[in-house]
Amino acid sequence: MSERDSRPSPTRETEAPRLMEALDRRDALDLLRSVSLGRLVFTQHALPAIRPLNHLLDGEDVIIRLGDGSVLASLAAPSTPPGTVVAYEADAIDPESHVGWSVVVTGYARLVDDPADLDRYRDLLRPWVSPTMSDVLRIRPQLITGFRLVPATGRPAAG
């Protein structure tokens, strides 16, 4: 049996067409607040790189913790105005129905160096891994985009 034959056959739900609906900034941020895991997209040695990280939002800023001395920490030194351009993506898409949403925040990342902010973020955002993670990165959004994938059935045609 080939790999293709071993996959489950599509159901009527997964065959149904989807529509992609753009999210406004507020809705995109609300959805981003509803999950704790996303992916940081950055450049490493002139190539794109991605790391899964947990996050929180402070207003519109995305806050993440970084491992001490990590590649990410070195890319976003606090003395680099306005910061390093990165993207942060999070989503929730159902694997069966293929409906859900995705949000991308693109902006400038800088290490947080204010002691009060550092203490507050360290209390609020617990790292998921055991190495020491005392660096905190703030992403100031310049662009926030997102979309919902919704079933097309039962919806009026756009016109």
Q: Which tens digit of pLDDT belongs to each residue from 10-44?
A: 454 456 788 999 999 999 999 999 999 999 999 88
Q: Give a yes or no: residue 52 inside a domain.
A: yes
Residue 11 lies in a domain: no
pLDDT of the residue at 71: 74
Q: Which domain holds residue 143?
A: 25-151
Host H or E run for residue 149:
strand 135-151
CA 80 remoteness from chain centre: 23
72 in any annotated domain: yes
Reported as a pLDDT band with limits 50, 70 and 90, residue 131 is: low
The pLDDT of residue 107 is 96
CB 133 within 8 A of CB 66: yes
Q: What's the whole-number mean pLDDT along residues 40-67? A: 92
99 located within any domain: yes
- pLDDT at residue 66 tops 60: yes
Q: What is the mean pLDDT of residues 56-61?
A: 97
Examine residue 12 and state whether it is found in any structural domain, yes or no: no
**Encoded tokens for 29:** 């941020």
Q: Rounded to whole angstroms, how far apart are CA atoms 70 and 11?
A: 44
Residue 43 dihedral angles phi and psi, to the nearest 5°: -105, 130
Query: Taking a C-beta distance cutoff of 8 angstroms, is the pair 109, 53 a contact?
Result: no
The dihedral of CA 99, 103, 104, 110: what is its sign?
negative
In a domain, 20, yes or no: no
Confidence of residue 1 (pLDDT cuts 50, 70, 90): very low
* CATH code for the domain of 31: 2.30.110.10
* CA dihedral of residues 145, 33, 36, 16 (deg, nearest 10): -60
Read off the pLDDT of each residue in 34-56 and give the average, rounded to a whole number.
93
Task: Give percent above pLDDT 70 in the chain.
Answer: 78
Q: Considering the domain boundaries, does residue 144 fall inside one? A: yes
Contacting residues for 98 by C-beta, under 8 A, at least 6 apart: 14, 18, 149
- If one compares 11 and 72, the residue with the highest pLDDT of the two is 72
Number of domains in the chain: 1
* 13 domain residue, yes or no: no
